[in-house]
Amino acid sequence: MSSGLRRLLAALLLALLATAACQQRAGDGGDDGGDDGRGDGGDGLRLDQLLGELDDTGFARAAAPRDFDFPADHGAHRDFRSEWWYLTGQLGDAAGRRYGFQITFFRFALAPPIAAGDASGEAGAAPSRWRSSEAWMAHFALSDAAGERFIHHERFARGALGLAGADRDAHGRLQVWLDDWRLEHRGGDRWRLRARHGELSLALSLRAQKPPVLHGQRGLSQKGAAPGNASYYYSLPRIAADGELRIDGQRRAVAGSAWLDREWSTSSLDAGVAGWDWLSLQLDDGRELMLYRLRRADGSATPQSYAALIAADGALQILDYAAVEWTPTRHWRSPAGRRYPVASRLRIDALGAAIELRPLFDAQELSGALHYWEGAMVAERAGAVIGRGYLELTGYPPGQH
């Protein structure tokens, strides 16, 4: 894809984000079944199209390792063009029902901080409260395993008028929000999530059970060959979660485990990268596995693909991705015609015998401004569950065989 087309696609999404706040106030921002008015067969946009070769003049680049500072780095990094707070997890209730959940906040900069700060209206006039250099998108999804239902919502807002943002409250605590979807860092290892859309709501108290894990080279995660085609990337790979889920008019106490990914960058993908497959897996023995395959159009992995094993004590072991065997065993085709490899066999020497990865159910595709498959899954060996996690599949166009 040419850099000019990438710029056009990004501009279209940013324009959508920048104008959607009024729709949100009118209550027209939700998506219950994947049809957001574009039609289920629409191509939409893809995350990989927003992380490629765009004009990055005035933005910082992830070019070298840096010292991370927590809790400050849980907050926004506005000198970079994009970042996200990505929380996924699996929950169970007293009746044995299983649920997966995802809530993600995406921040996109419309202009570099200097340009945004220099912009002004009429001479001597106070800056408009509508003025914003940021656009926000958020996704909230629930996977109901028993009913094989995937419920997802999508919202957009400008970073103005209190509609969305990432700032500290009066008590100095970080809060990331879009409308009434809110992730809060309560201090130390404690977090809180609140999200509600119509009759669906999720309220969780969260406690990180391991310290932040810095991926790549002390947090510098190289995504392409060129200098600066990288991100700063860390995870909280195991978070105890308990709270309340409201669904089908009932309130259900739930508990389980979650995973938080934090990443920020300006330009992170090389031309020729069609998408990625990302896996987070919490093993029952206390370890976690994270791997991602950056895919070319022919399905092959780029040299920047990554695999890491996190020990029970939180120590990170970066694995040789070239030695990873990650083989699809079953595909699912969405109503929009996208063919996703939803089940696979994974062989990594550090894990011993091969494990089978399968989704709680197949139909876990988000279809809105962005189209991607994000699903709760289990890992099995010899028919026994040995771990649970999430799988993300992006960059699969309609009609692909």
Q: Mean pLDDT, the chain, as a whole number?
A: 85
Whether residue 96 has pLDDT greater than 90:
yes
Q: What pLDDT is recorded for position 128?
A: 65
Whether residue 300 has pLDDT greater than 50:
yes
Predicted confidence band of residue 200 (pLDDT cuts 50, 70, 90): very high
Predicted confidence band of residue 116 (pLDDT cuts 50, 70, 90): low
Q: What pLDDT is recorded for position 114?
A: 66
Whether residue 399 has pLDDT greater than 60:
yes
pLDDT 10s digits, 310-366: 999 999 999 999 999 999 999 999 998 999 999 999 999 999 999 999 999 999 999
**pTM for this predicted structure:** 0.86
pLDDT 10s digits, 235-267: 999 999 999 999 999 999 999 999 999 999 997
Q: Which residue has the tokens 């989704």?
A: 359
Q: What pLDDT is recorded for position 240?
A: 98
